[in-house]
Structure 1
């Protein structure tokens, strides 16, 4: 049990002194959090007036940043709300999340993105940055109000029709040209829809054996190849959502060598799980893009370490029970991810703290333009950080998660690492592994 002592519990913004913590795995030091920033670092800091957190054995990371979260509100509050999703994020060590636009109504206007942004501020658990839709209603027919969303209080900088591909190349080009004016980003769900009609899982040996219609890897790779050429032609920023195949890695590698302004993400589940999971016909393993082969998983891991894949993003996709506890063919695709992402990365990469900080905090914050996030704890830096116990191991119990949904693919798995505390601008959102509010 971590000890939290001292300080004035009635103070509006008490200072916190974290004793003997290893910042991004370095030698133990003390961190004094006060006034929303890291006020001091060093050994033997004065604890007068501060609540003391015993950081012995813990690692401090810059607060995690998720570039791909589905919070479902407005419209599907039975699956998730901004508040419940924010709590799940904080418990997972996140201090900022980017909320995807496939809500109901779709976040394709300034009014809807501002609603999501305000709900995030009211919850006060993480910074919720809305992602705006690229096209009206995600229909892929005409551009949404990109400029109005960019100029709104939410200051939207990333736009995505995630869940749907912007399949029309002319429309994709126009979107890239439009956001270039304010250095925005188009985040593409890379899926050629004419190649995935009726698809149920990855196209390969397992799909053939199970008799399920396959989702071919080339459906992803073809769109990425097209879009990097468009981004190069326009000179705009492209982000590829949930990369899942070895072939996509090679397309991305080539594009980066050419200097294309492209970044890409991989999900924790695509780094750990394979299409063999579909043998159980358990719809919890149905996801888009689908789980791929062991060879794809290996290529994705190598690309993440190398930096060809820039970040890890959860694609946290909560679903109500009736949308998952049904026949495979009728189940909605998607998995929970916020509360388990760091543990999966520790399982996959080991305790490579600088790499984890780069892929889960610094780079996603930079892509999203979240200047207060993704910064290692140091004097004067906003106190957005998380404390991890790397020695802990936990067995995932869906009933203990903060999300309103239960569709985690890791149920029953024992994974390394435990989030002990999360701080947002110096105020705790999680203490001793429990949400503060």
Structure 2
């Protein structure tokens, strides 16, 4: 902000009483740094490019100005928010609904993996706010009769750096070609890239304000980051060791591939650990179901690909384990940003083996600092070897058996919890307490 004014409340930023009350109902009492910097400029009608650490309150920074403008001039299809993932889109939609519940705001979420007809009904209800993934929004713009964004007043690109990846490029171009030029545009991201700068020049007005409340690539001070150098062949033993040591923690384990999420979650379940997978190959209902169980504490270990690294607000994550080091060091920032959110503390542990050292060194270079290692007695870790090896063997057999059964049971309900429990071996799992004996 231009003047050195102490900001204690959302009222101080110029947010109206109705929305301040909505913030209080959500437990938002003091604006975060990005909110304090962005909201006054947005209320003044400026375009924004906001660079802030993940978990810093970016959604509120763009949602509140949009809702206040909507109060002054209520119209259908007033604003559109684009998100790179279905889960983040649904989460943003929920936050708009929560903030706008007292003022009659109608929202629609448009994402893949969900029935188009149901979404068309929602669009026919003339919502004020649309939150969408780019591909599904383009589907509706091309195929849904009567739907357009000609009246749009606000366009938001959340996680803008991800939206500019090759997979979204064509869809983003199509959307920018059909939205009005006279609009307010907000770009928000945890990391700044050359592509974001290019988009800034292409779609922001000359009055745009750049707000940077963090260094270019940084993590929050409350996050304790470590690495563990280990032989690749013992990686699973180290994973089980840390999860048992932190058995009361809510943990996210990041792996490289979709198949790995299923296998790692399965062998952890066979050892009595409450793990559940989430990846891009799962149906949308299963992905949401996994998140719901994780948030509710039914499962305290979420084994995931980078589909879960962006923007998801899971407040209670205590630990992030990089089972596989990301090849793109910027993905590390997003992964570890799942913990130590909103002022809380958190732990991030990265497994580094002889084949991944170069990727880890790139992460340290990006962060501009050396991360400390965790001194572990390998002899203690290897006491788990026999049980881990057996759990993996059983898991492989169950996967093969399940694949065979699936080919003969095409009509079964994918969301049958009892079948999932049988598949994951819950009934035969040993508790981690017994493993300590």
Calculate the TM-score normalised by the size of structure 2: 0.31
Calculate the TM-score normalised by the size of structure 1: 0.31
Question: Which structure is higher in helix share?
Answer: 2
Greater RCO, CA 8 A, separation 6+: 1
Question: Which structure is higher in strand share?
Answer: 1
